[in-house]
């Protein structure tokens, strides 16, 4: 992510940190770990040394930018004494609020920070969603993340857990007041109010969702002596009546609530139901068990009558009933277990199910009560709508999660992946992708700067004078580009086709049936979808050649602008010479001499407006071609064109003035190979020298003896590169 103006700094290093923190004395410390952090009070930002490696991805650079912008923003905006910082959960709330206030303020003051902060919010949203789905994270942390995103206008990608949802609803209105905060002290005051709200909600939630004892269902049957006696009396197979069931339900409710008066009432009901069961014990000796529900008894009267006939061995029944009864009697135990396990019965077979149940009750002295309960439960399940089952399951899961969350305290609910932690983890992954070759070249980009010549320095008369020197060459190159453009974009007629429109020139072949290829089709033309990045070596060794290089840049710029190919022109050199004595120490790096990028023309600028900037081109200090080509490739990586080309105009081996030219040359070769693997073409140009060919490769090098006399071969080579060799000029 790069920016167009000089006020939007591109590198996420010292320049950006000092710019944001409003402290030019800020200290940068490189370390061998992977995290970016800052000491707000000491004004120190610690940066991973691996961030300086060649080949670092655009994703990693974006992560670095956010980390630096964020930490630099805290140094600039978070003005609190150490004694004023809260602790525990209150600090987590304050930090979430202050991050929102600080980032909004920094994005307002510095336009280039806004896109990076928005990118980080979307990235963080996905990471948090994945963590919540995996069952990680605590309610307070989750609620703070959701509130922070909603304040920024981003909806969380996950469904809040029960306790986090309660926190969110209780405190979001107060949390959203951060939009009106003007200082860190305002954030602290809001944090105190949010803390009190959440503390009260935590207490209420824990009381309302206190987990129930798991052993209570067993105690319901064994707690009262009267119940034990009634169970013993029922062992002969007596069924439970409706009054007894209601008594047991009342007993369950009274035990859970702990009300002694209701317990006494329950005991009376149970003793009464027990006496009723004893009175009916004699009649129940043969019938295994009566229905517990009076409604079920009335519905099964007809089936009982049929059952009594079926039990008589001499009864004249149909073959179907005999086979059913014999099957029922053959394996009563298996059928009983199957009924109790499945609990399902078809509507059409409800009568047969009744026969089976009654016959079992007469032949066996127990077990019918359980089977009837299972059958009743199955009937109720069948009446439920399938659409209502999933919400019930979700409610059950939510209740279980609520009981689990009711055990936590507010101070213990902040554990989770913070925004900084998420970005640090991703940076670590990106750094792990770096190969030993990538790490063999480390560059300190602290002092790299990007200049745009001011309007006051534009030399329009000088530009027109130099253009006049190569007007013939410009016309020749432009004409070649235009011819290639017309050839590519022109619509063509393709004859001798088997499908399409009838070709009038093939009437004879049609009449004599000589061929089936008598049709023609129209082929649409293509567009030149190419973007070009021109980088120019402005080192001192260019000396007398810098004028010719400038003329070549003017010729290419004029021609590309005529045919509508987007392009940029950037000149580069170093800030210090080898003998200046101001080059920073190496400190484990391969390049510490800062690079100066001079932007003469950018993609979104019109050539006719800015072309006279080229008159500011000068031969200055040194050149670092490997990093410059790498920078150009990253500029092109954001373009939509299908083909992306880099033209590098230099005079030979790169040199940073630090006595390691061989390292610089090896890095240039690696960068070119990496760019071509990523479908970015790199072409080297040499004016009066073939030296650059050893770094760019013979196949990717263009030699020019004299700019004033551009040969036909040179023009053909340029056009071939732009058109990918599809047009021969």
For residue range 335-381, what is the model confidence (pLDDT) as tens digits?
444 444 444 444 444 444 444 444 444 444 444 455 555 555 555 55
Given a cut of 50, whether residue 451 has pLDDT beyond it is yes
Instruction: Give, rounded to a whole angstrom, the gap between the first and last alpha carbons of the chain.
Output: 37
The strand pairing partners of 531, in sequence order, are 644
Average of pLDDT values for 639-665?
A: 89
In three-state secondary structure terms, 38 is strand
Q: Rounded to 10 degrees, what is the CA torsion of 637, 638, 642, 647? A: -50
Q: Which of the listed ranges 28-37, 169-178, 221-230, 411-420 does the model predict with the highest average pLDDT?
A: 169-178
Selected residue with higher pLDDT from 357 and 207? 207
110's CB contacts (< 8 A; 6+ apart) are: 8, 19, 20
Question: What tokens does 594 get?
Answer: 């800062």
Alpha-carbon distances of 18 from 11, 99, 261, 449, 593, rounded to whole Å: 12, 19, 75, 13, 19
Lowest-confidence region among 144-153, 251-260, 455-464 = 251-260
d(CA 134, CA 285): 57
600's CB contacts (< 8 A; 6+ apart) are: 453, 553, 569, 570, 571, 610, 613, 614, 616, 617
pLDDT at site 491? 63
Q: Rounded to 10 degrees, what is the CA torsion of 506, 508, 513, 515? A: -30
Selected residue with higher pLDDT from 434 and 185? 185
Max Cα–Cα distance, the chain, nearest Å:
128
Phi, psi of 702 (to 5 degrees): -120, 120
pLDDT at site 198? 93
pLDDT at site 315? 40
Average of pLDDT values for 47-73?
A: 82
Pairing of strands 519-523, 530-537: unpaired
Phi, psi of 53 (to 5 degrees): -75, 150
- pLDDT bin (cut points 50, 70, 90) of residue 190 is very high
Q: Which domains does the chain have, with CATH numbers?
A: 14-209+413-432 (no CATH), 211-231+255-274 (no CATH), 294-405 (no CATH), 449-485+526-722 (3.40.50.410), 492-523 (no CATH)
Selected residue with higher pLDDT from 104 and 299? 104
Helical ranges in 139-287 per DSSP H: 139-151, 162-175, 184-208, 216-222, 225-233, 242-257, 260-279
For residue range 63-88, what is the model confidence (pLDDT) as tens digits?
888 888 888 888 888 988 889 999 88
Question: What tokens does 524 get?
Answer: 């649409």
d(CA 141, CA 247): 47
For residue range 548-582, what is the model confidence (pLDDT) as tens digits?
888 889 988 988 888 888 999 999 999 998 877 88
- Give the residue carrying structure tokens 């040179």: 714
pLDDT at site 653? 83
Given a cut of 60, whether residue 53 has pLDDT beyond it is yes
Question: What tokens does 708 get?
Answer: 């004033």
Let me know: does 517 contact 497? Beta carbons within 8 Å: yes
Given a cut of 90, whether residue 197 has pLDDT beyond it is yes
pLDDT at site 219? 46
- pLDDT bin (cut points 50, 70, 90) of residue 254 is very low
Pairing of strands 44-48, 37-39: antiparallel
Given a cut of 90, whether residue 189 has pLDDT beyond it is yes
Average of pLDDT values for 589-596?
A: 91
d(CA 729, CA 717): 9
Let me know: does 628 contact 671? Beta carbons within 8 Å: no
For residue range 660-688, what is the model confidence (pLDDT) as tens digits?
899 999 999 999 999 999 889 999 988 87
pLDDT at site 184? 93
For residue range 222-253, what is the model confidence (pLDDT) as tens digits?
444 444 444 444 444 444 444 444 444 444 44
pLDDT at site 490? 54
Selected residue with higher pLDDT from 218 and 512? 512
CB 556: neighbour CB atoms within 10 A?
23
pLDDT at site 24? 66
pLDDT at site 438? 79
DSSP 619-667: --S-B-HHHHHHHHHHHHHT---SEEEEEEE--SS-B-SSS-HHHHHHH
Q: Rounded to 10 degrees, what is the CA torsion of 568, 573, 574, 576? A: -140
In the chain, % of residues over pLDDT 90: 21
Given a cut of 90, whether residue 41 has pLDDT beyond it is no
Q: How many CA within 13 A on the CB side of residue 66?
A: 26
pLDDT at site 289? 42
Lowest-confidence region among 263-272, 541-550, 566-575 = 263-272
pLDDT at site 238? 42
For residue range 686-724, what is the model confidence (pLDDT) as tens digits?
887 888 899 999 889 888 877 766 666 777 777 777 776
Selected residue with higher pLDDT from 152 and 415? 152
Query: Taking Cα atoms as reference points, which of 40, 39, 63 lies closest to residue 50?
Result: 63
Q: Which of the listed ranges 32-41, 353-362, 520-529 does the model predict with the highest average pLDDT?
A: 32-41
DSSP 229-260: HHHHHGGG-PPP-HHHHHHHHHHHHHHHHT-H
Helical ranges in 78-153 per DSSP H: 88-109, 113-133, 139-151
- pLDDT bin (cut points 50, 70, 90) of residue 426 is confident
Average of pLDDT values for 615-639?
A: 90
Mean pLDDT of the chain: 74
């Amino acid at each position: 992510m790069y920016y167009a103006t000089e006020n939007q700094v591109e590198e996420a290093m010292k320049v950006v940190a000092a710019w944001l923190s409003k402290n030019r004395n800020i200290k940068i410390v490189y370390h061998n770990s992977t995290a970016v952090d800052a000491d707000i009070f000491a004004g120190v930002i610690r940066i991973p040394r691996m961030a300086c490696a060649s080949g670092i991805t655009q994703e990693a650079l974006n992560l670095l930018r956010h980390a630096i912008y964020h930490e630099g923003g805290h140094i600039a905006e978070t003005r609190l004494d150490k004694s004023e910082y809260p602790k525990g959960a209150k600090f987590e709330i304050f930090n979430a609020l202050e991050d929102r206030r600080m980032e909004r303020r920094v994005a307002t003051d510095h336009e280039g920070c806004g896109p990076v902060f928005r990118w980080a919010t979307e990235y963080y949203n996905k990471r948090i969603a994945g963590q919540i789905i995996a069952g990680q994270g605590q309610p307070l942390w989750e609620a703070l993340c959701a509130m922070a995103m909603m304040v920024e206008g981003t909806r969380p990608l996950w469904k809040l857990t029960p306790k986090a949802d309660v926190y969110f609803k209780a405190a979001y209105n107060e949390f959203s007041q951060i939009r009106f905060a003007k200082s860190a002290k305002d954030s602290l005051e809001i944090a105190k109010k949010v803390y009190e709200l959440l503390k009260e909600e935590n207490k209420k939630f824990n009381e309302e969702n206190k987990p129930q004892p798991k052993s209570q269902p067993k105690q319901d049957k064994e707690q009262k002596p009267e119940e034990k006696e009634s169970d013993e009396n029922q062992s002969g197979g007596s069924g439970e009546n409706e009054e007894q069931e209601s008594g047991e339900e009342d007993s369950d409710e009274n035990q859970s609530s702990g009300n002694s008066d209701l317990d006494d009432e329950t005991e009376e009901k149970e003793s009464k139901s027990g006496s009723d069961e004893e009175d009916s014990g004699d009649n129940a000796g043969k019938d295994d068990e009566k229905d517990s529900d009076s409604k079920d008894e009335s519905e099964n009267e007809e089936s009982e009558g049929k059952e009594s006939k079926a039990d008589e061995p001499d009864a004249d029944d149909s073959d179907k009933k005999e086979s059913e009864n014999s099957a029922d009697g053959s394996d009563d135990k298996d059928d009983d277990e199957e009924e109790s396990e499945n609990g399902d019965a078809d509507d059409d077979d409800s009568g047969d199910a009744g026969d089976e149940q009654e016959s079992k009750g007469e032949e066996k002295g127990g077990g019918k009560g359980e089977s009837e309960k299972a059958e009743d439960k199955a009937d109720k399940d069948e009446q439920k709508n399938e659409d209502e089952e999933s919400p019930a399951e979700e409610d059950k899961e939510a209740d279980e999660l609520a009981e689990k969350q009711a055990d936590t305290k507010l101070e213990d609910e902040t554990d989770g992946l913070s925004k900084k932690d998420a970005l640090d983890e991703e940076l670590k992954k990106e750094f792990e992708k770096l190969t030993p070759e990538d790490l063999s070249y480390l560059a300190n980009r602290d002092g790299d700067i990007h200049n745009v010549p001011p309007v006051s320095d534009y030399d329009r008369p000088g530009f027109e004078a130099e253009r006049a020197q190569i007007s013939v060459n410009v016309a020749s190159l432009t004409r070649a580009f235009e011819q290639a453009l017309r050839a590519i974009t022109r619509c063509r007629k393709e004859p001798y086709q088997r499908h399409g429109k009838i070709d009038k020139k093939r009437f004879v072949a049609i009449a004599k049936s000589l061929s089936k290829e008598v049709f023609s089709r129209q082929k649409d033309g293509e567009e030149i979808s190419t973007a070009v990045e021109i980088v120019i070596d402005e080192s001192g060794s260019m000396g007398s050649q810098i004028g010719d290089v400038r003329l070549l840049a003017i010729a290419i710029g004029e021609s590309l602008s005529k045919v509508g190919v987007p392009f940029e022109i950037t000149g580069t050199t170093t800030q210090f010479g080898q003998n200046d004595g101001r080059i920073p120490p190496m400190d484990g790096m391969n390049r510490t001499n800062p690079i100066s990028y001079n932007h003469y023309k950018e993609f979104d600028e019109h050539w006719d407006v800015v072309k006279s900037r080229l008159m500011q081109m000068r031969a200055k200090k040194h050149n670092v071609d490997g990093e410059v080509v790498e920078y150009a490739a990253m500029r092109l990586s954001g373009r939509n064109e299908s083909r992306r080309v880099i033209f590098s105009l230099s005079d030979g081996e790169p040199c940073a003035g630090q006595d390691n030219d061989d390292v610089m040359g090896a890095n240039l070769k690696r960068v070119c190979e990496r760019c071509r693997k990523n479908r970015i073409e790199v072409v080297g140009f040499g004016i009066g020298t073939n030296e650059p060919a050893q770094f760019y490769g013979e196949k990717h090098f263009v030699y020019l003896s004299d700019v004033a006399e551009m040969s036909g071969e040179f023009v053909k080579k340029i056009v071939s590169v732009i058109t990918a060799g599809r047009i021969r000029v």
